[in-house]
Amino acid sequence: MIEYGSIEYKKVTWSLALGSFLVFCNLYLFQPMLPFMAQHFTVSETQINWLLAASTLALALCLVPWAVGSESFGRRKVMLIGLFAIPIVGGLMLITQQLWFLVAARALMGIAIAAFASVAVAYMVEELDAKAFARAIGGYIAANSLGGIAGRIAGGILTDAYGWEVAVASMAVFTLVCALLVSYMLPAQKNFTPQRGLFFHHNRALIKHIKNKTIWTAMLIGGVNFALFVNLYSVMGFRLVSEPHNLPIGLASLIFVCYLAGTVSSKLTGNWTQRKNPISGMVTGTIISMLGMLVALVDSIPFMLIGLALISFGAFFTHTLAYAWVSQNATHAKATATALYLVHYYTGGSLGGFFLIYCWQHGQWPAVVAGGLILYAIIFVLCYVLSRIEQRDKAELATIDVQMCK
């Protein structure tokens, strides 16, 4: 196993962080463009949301198939296939100006991104020792947030200045160059044994993960958490380009700098898990995120930015803890378990967008807050359920230990 601080550790963490940066740049490139694209194609906010939802839904649906494939063909190979497919799909988007074609291409982008996202954490779990993994997971998710920031800001600024086609083309070229760098740096796996011809075995593993209440509850927490986080940003984009603020798309896209708060909080989770219970951390992160949504009720740009920073800090804190919980508590087929977590995560993000943007269309930010409070309440209930399950499991384990001593 690769130890914390070694040269191999640095190669793994830097290459996977760069890959993570790339996939999230591409996944969220269109998010700040949504108000512009809605006007460009003369469609409603909920209709144009398909440019984001198509990629996240396709990502969610393809995570498990890619993870199952990686059990046979290897994590590294699957990740590189996905990375090199991304710029190819980016080029396809420039073929036509039809909205339906763009949505279809965005779905293909989600499929390519799923190849990397589904197995990166499993690669780390298998190759890194426990201490190295605890440190690396925070950096990996921090790269997620940095990629989200960079992709969104680049998409907004380039679209504002040169048009959406230039934004897409620039991202495709950048991705291709960086994918070559990742393929050069990422070490071959040493602790992976291919398991070919075990399709039904992986299906059974998937069912076992769903029946495992300990990790399934954490998956639900991740899904609802992401439904809030990513779509509160989408709604804020529509809010800032509308009356009374009327910001241009490029300037409005700078709100994603607030993601940096999530980069910081995801790195802090390693220290939290060494000293405190991860479930209490999920609750703490959710409270911070909820406070951010409430702060943004004040119709002032500084308060909106403070609110978004709090939302980012809390949401990434909760996500990192829930993600690591699933990875570490899955007793078998870890790639499938982490992929299943991300299925819940991105499905929540896709469906949450239609819910919160619908609230925005019919009642502006106060209606969004009302809808958001319902989702936050669901997370708190799920955290309570997860804590009860953990207490029950510990009690059962203690009983077994006593019986063995006798």
Q: Which residue has the higher pLDDT, 180 or 210?
A: 180
Q: Are 119 and 66 in contact (CB under 8 A)?
A: yes
**Domains in the chain, number:** 1
**Residue at 309 is within a domain:** yes
Residue 331 has pLDDT above 70, yes or no: no
**Cα–Cα distance for residue pair 16/10, rounded to 1 Å:** 10
**Residue at 377 is within a domain:** yes
Q: What is the mean pLDDT of residues 2-20?
A: 87
Amino acid at 252: A
**Residue at 188 is within a domain:** yes
- pLDDT tens sequence across 385-402: 998 888 886 766 656 555
- Alpha carbon 158 to its chain's center: 24
- Alpha carbon 72 to its chain's center: 25
Q: How much is the CA Rg of the chain, to the nearest whole Å?
A: 21
**Residue at 2 is within a domain:** no
Q: What CATH number should be reported for the domain holding residue 394?
A: 1.20.1250.20
Q: What is the mean pLDDT of residues 73-92?
A: 92
**Residue at 1 is within a domain:** no
Within 296-333, residue ranges assigned H as helices are 301-329
Residue 146: pLDDT band (50, 70, 90) is confident
**Cα–Cα distance for residue pair 308/302, rounded to 1 Å:** 10
Closest CA to 179 of 15, 13, 11: 15
Burial of 244: CB neighbours in 10 Å, binned 0-12, 13-18, 19+ = exposed
Please give the residue range of the domain that contains residue 352: 7-405
Amino acid at 109: M
The predicted structure's pLDDT at residue 308: 95
Dihedral class, residue 125 (left if φ above 0, else alpha if ψ from -120 to 50, else beta): alpha
**Residue at 380 is within a domain:** yes
- pLDDT tens sequence across 206-226: 677 777 778 889 999 999 999
Q: What is the mean pLDDT of residues 241-249?
A: 90
Measure the N-to-C terminal CA separation of the chain; round to a whole number of Å: 36
The predicted structure's pLDDT at residue 367: 95
